[in-house]
Chains A and B, each alone.
Chain A
Amino acid sequence: MEKRIEAAYQSAPKTWIWKLLLAFLVAGLMAWSSSTVTFTTAGSGLEVAGNILSGIFHPDTKLLFNFTTSGVAYLLLETLCIAFLGTIVGAVISVPFSFLSATNLVPRPIALLGRFAIAAIRTVPAFIYGLMFIRVTGPGPFAGLLTMSLCSIGMVSKMFIESIEDLDKRILESLDAAGCTTFQKIRYGILPQLFPDFMSTLIYRFDMNLRDATVLGLVGAGGIGAPLIFAMSSYRWNEVGAILLGLILLVLVIEAISSRIRAKLTRG
């Protein structure tokens, strides 16, 4: 028995040279990339950190429990609405995109073109889209919503493409054999396969949009981002604490709900 084990060890492929090379490569990359970082704390860095922490743990309760349009509650509602509609609009745009880029439905060149377009849309940072949309709608949540929807396209259509390419075609064939019409094939063959995956992707994206909504504040595109960034750049840490507390609570609650829904969806 022992001899067999030893023989098995002996016959195992010797990969240590590769591993060593790989380790050197990774170490080299790390050394190269750490050349850009200079570890200095900006003068009173630690003091600032202390202030930030104390502010975050003593949130401004007046702002937190202010139920007018400038209070945290309304801002959170606005952010939630931006994320929700942004996801829906993004999904509506992504569906044709992803059907056009699925290699099992369209010829390869068209699919590659579709993927190229999706990658291009993804590359442009959110704040540039924000600037573009502000010209259309003026500053406000509507611009934020449109930005969100464009930013969602990249990831949503990538996931959509994956689920479309995983479609089980045998089901369609058997429906064909049973004499179903095209509409029936779509209704009973394609939709039940795609729907849970699509919903799960969208709910996940909604989560992410909610978290990313602060970016919109940079360009004045509505939501909780702008007050948060104003408060931060004027060092009002108590307000930052209040806003962050609201945001974190909201994100945690939504995440808990959405992960439950997604677990149900995957179980069927």
Chain B
Amino acid sequence: MSLYDRVFKPKKYRLANGKEVEERFTRLPLILLILLTCTVVSVQVTGFSLQVLVTGGKRFFDILFAMVPPDTKYLAKIWSPLLDTIKMSLLGSAVGAILALPFAVLAANNVVTNRYVVMLVRLFLSLVRTLPTLVCALIATYIFGLGTMAGTCSIAVFTFAYVGKQLFELIETADMGSFEAMEALGATRTRSFLAAILPQILPTYLSVSLFCLEGNVRYASILGYVGAGGLGLIMNEKIGWREYDSVGMILIVLFVTVVAIEGISHAIRKRLT
């Protein structure tokens, strides 16, 4: 940024006590320029055109209107996949969140003093996090076959990565006073971690896991698209048959479920923190 400052000279002020302070020239034009270039390039690459949007915009509602009187008779067949989806997200979130705990501890640089371990575990966590959920689910279906096991697996991986990252940042910002006190009294690092840091992070850890669960119910519906069981499976099938009224019913059920789970988890999270 020094080049920028040399081109646009910083403003100098003389304070009452004779000191000189500099106010750097505003970065706004530079940022705007960068954003504008990015936008122009993106518009070029993606073929964004308002004209298409205006002329074809109403076709967006074709499928939506086809859904509108939802097929209530189909409701009876939704329950079992819905339960599958809920079970998948529950189990996957639990497994992922529990697995995340040891890794998060290893990735926190205030608990583990070995720098290489910390770096390695962090690299692993961020690699897992960048792995798209869909890719994960597809690989899982190849390994475990079609079905809920694959879905549970990919949800667990996703939860693991998300909770792991949040958790190690949490551990690093925890108050180290009691940890050091316990170490000074002769407790081992593991014991002092369990007694001093775990109680501090536990409420937020649980709340992050619950938050992840909320999102996972929604994610689980996408996973069915690649054959990983649950609501997505029947949704994919009904889209294939162009039976949009059934799709509408599935979406309504999913909406109610998601809102209910969000409500419950929100209530629990409020009491936790």
Contact = CB atoms under 8 A, between A and B. Distances in A.
Interface of A: 29-30, 32-43, 45-46, 48-49, 52, 77-78, 80-82, 84-85, 88, 119-120, 122-128, 131-133, 135-137, 140-142, 144-146, 211-212, 214-215, 218, 222, 225, 228-229, 232-233, 240, 244, 247-248, 251-252, 255
Given A136-B56, A215-B134, A125 B235 contact: yes
B239 A48 contact: no
Given A42-B143, A49-B143, 5 more contacts: A78-B45, A81-B41, A128-B235, A214-B132, A232-B138
Q: Is the interface of B mostly helix, strand, loop or mixed?
A: helix
B64 interface: yes
Interface string B188-227: 0000000000000000000000000000001001100110
B91 A77 contact: no
Interface string B113-125: 0000000000000
Interface string B157-196: 0000000000000000000000000000000000000000
A20 B149 CA distance: 29
Contacts of B226: 218
A207 B221 CA distance: 22
Interface residues of B, number: 65
Contacts of A84: 38-39, 42
Contacts of B142: 42, 45, 48-49, 52
Interface of B: 38-39, 41-43, 45-49, 52-53, 56-57, 59-64, 83-84, 86-88, 90-91, 94, 126-127, 129-135, 138-139, 141-149, 152, 218, 221-222, 225-226, 229, 232, 235, 239, 247, 251, 254-255, 258-259, 262
B130 A247 contact: yes
Q: Which of B130, B149, B251 lies at the interface centre, i.e. has the most chain A CB atoms within 10 A of its CB?
A: B130
A136 B55 CA distance: 8
A222 B47 CA distance: 11
B255 A120 contact: yes
B116 to A, nearest CB: 19
Contacts of B126: 252, 255
B149 A38 contact: yes
B42 A127 contact: no
Given A42-B143, A135-B62, A251 B45 contact: no
A85 B48 contact: yes
B67 to A, nearest CB: 9
Nearest to A244: B135
B87 A33 contact: yes
Contact of A132 (B64, B84, B138): B64
Contact of A127 (B60, B138, B225): B225
B132 A33 contact: no
A85 B152 contact: no
Contacts of A240: 135
B140 to A, nearest CB: 10
Nearest to A116: B259
A40 to B, nearest CB: 6
A232 B84 CA distance: 25
A127 B236 CA distance: 9
Contacts of A81: 41-42, 45-46
24 contacts: A30-B91, A35-B87, A36-B91, A36-B229, A37-B149, A37-B152, A46-B143, A49-B139, A52-B139, A85-B48, A119-B262, A135-B59, A136-B52, A136-B57, A137-B52, A140-B47, A142-B52, A215-B134, A218-B134, A232-B135, A232-B138, A247-B132, A251-B130, A252-B130
